[in-house]
Chain A
Amino acid sequence: MSINLKKIIRLAEAVERIPGGASLLIGGFLGIGSPHRLIGELVRQGRRNLTVIANDTARPGLGIGRLIDAKAVKRLIVSHIGTNPETQRQMIAGETEVTLCPQGTLAERIRAGGYGLGGVLTATGVGTVLAATARQIEIEGKMFLLELPLAADFALIAAHRADYLGNLDYALTARNFNPIMAMAGVVVIAEAAEIVPVGVIPPDEVVTPCILVDYLVAREQVNGR
């Protein structure tokens, strides 16, 4: 198994691989299931001009909201910013370019990006203001919007457990966008609440297979060591 252990990487080194201006898929739903350590380190290292694709920007001081606070995001593709007044302020001031996308459409666009599909057809948004920016296609008498795939340079994933190989599982509603995004990042960096020996996560419970994970962030030092 030693060939795979090279993917375990310290937090600072993981984030050093992400250049300014990179595009990032970031997991989480209002901060639940977001990669909080990676986000904190991006802020600490002062990364700027990022493109972030995520469900939301949580709230100031929390999750992706910390990247917004740090003015690290140039372009944002999300379904919801209602919980973060700072994101709304930056959007209205023209500091951050925000594209809003229905949550189910966002999930499917990311899936398309990771699954090698040319796009998805959805009835969501037909006849609304969204139809101005998407092609409407009629199939057997029903109208759909053609929504294009989304992918990014990096996917930043938060798992519940990772084994030494990088197989991941998730806890409760912290799963959300994480497994979909793990398919759609050119480079996938995962952090986990627990790192366990290989075999502890049984095959049926692995949600994200290790072959998708390029780097697994090493655990924090514990017990004062």
Chain B
Amino acid sequence: MDGKEIIARRIALELKNGTLVNLGIGLPTTVANYLPVGIEVFFQSENGLIGMEPLPLPGMEDEYLADAGGAFIGAVPGACCFDSCFCFGLIRGGHLDVTVLGALQVDEQGLLANWTIPGKMVPGMGGAMDLVTGAKRVIVSTLHTAKGNSKILKKCTLPLTSIRPVSLIVTELAVMEPTAAGLLLKERAPGVTVETILAATEASLIVPAHVPEMQI
């Protein structure tokens, strides 16, 4: 199992039956492939849909039905469509149960930077700022390091996406939860030691006496 699959499988366990979930483009999208048996959720797409499902059969795409990355998708029976104001009313108004987003950096306060590297990468924030500010739970899915450098920092150096802390951080090494006391190490990936996690983490971690393995 590669690191990204570990992350997606672990985050899938966070999803509760009957909830509304928004998955970001890329790694977060793959969470949908690992929903536990018996768990059904509604996936929202921020271009105006509840009830997204993966690609239709080749040749059966609908030219008016795409996800927020512009890729053609399907829609489940019971899906519904709406305009962009309504869609972000769902997001900002506290009606979205969970959003799963990627990170450039996340810090020990749980603050997330995921939309720009000034001077290098200026794609625009799209819906990310609204999602992190408004969703009931924000789960960060990210590889623990990039080019050997920790992405879990004492303090973000890139522009923040929101001043609201995220709810949970899941990497291929660990599950971490920002708390009032600091960043709590909750779980280790299978076969990964606490020492390995600490060595890959710039942020200070609160390490309980027993850190269980992810059950994936």
List residues of A whose CB falls within 8 A of some B CB.
Answer: 29-33, 55-56, 58-59, 78-83, 88, 91-92, 100, 102-108, 111, 122-130, 160, 170-180, 207
Chain B: interface residue count, which band?
35 or more
Closest residue of A by beta carbon distance from B128:
A102
B125 touches A79 (CB 8 A): yes
Binds A, one of B145-153, B155-163, B188-196: B155-163
Closest residue of B by beta carbon distance from A58:
B70
With A82-B124, A108-B85: A102-B129 Cβ-Cβ less than 8 Å: yes
List residues of B whose CB falls within 8 A of some A CB.
Answer: 45-49, 62-70, 75, 81-85, 87-88, 91-92, 122-130, 133-134, 159-164
Closest residue of B by beta carbon distance from A143:
B163
Residues of chain B lying within 8 A (CB to CB) of residue A177: 83-84
A32-B163 Cα distance, complex, nearest whole Å: 32
Distance in angstroms from B70 CB to nearest chain A CB is 3
With A79-B125, A79-B127, A124-B129: A180-B49 Cβ-Cβ less than 8 Å: no
Residues of chain A lying within 8 A (CB to CB) of residue B67: 173
Closest residue of A by beta carbon distance from B71:
A30
With A81-B123, A100-B125, A123-B133: A173-B45 Cβ-Cβ less than 8 Å: yes
Contact of B64 among A32, A56, A83, A92 (CB under 8 A): A32
Distance in angstroms from B157 CB to nearest chain A CB is 13
Distance in angstroms from B156 CB to nearest chain A CB is 11
Closest residue of A by beta carbon distance from B159:
A129
CB-based closest 7 A-B pairs: A82-B123, A104-B88, A127-B163, A30-B70, A104-B130, A80-B124, A171-B64
B64 touches A81 (CB 8 A): no
Contact of A175 among B68, B83, B124 (CB under 8 A): B83
A103 touches B123 (CB 8 A): no
B124 touches A105 (CB 8 A): no
Residues of chain A lying within 8 A (CB to CB) of residue B85: 107-108, 111, 180
Closest residue of B by beta carbon distance from A104:
B88
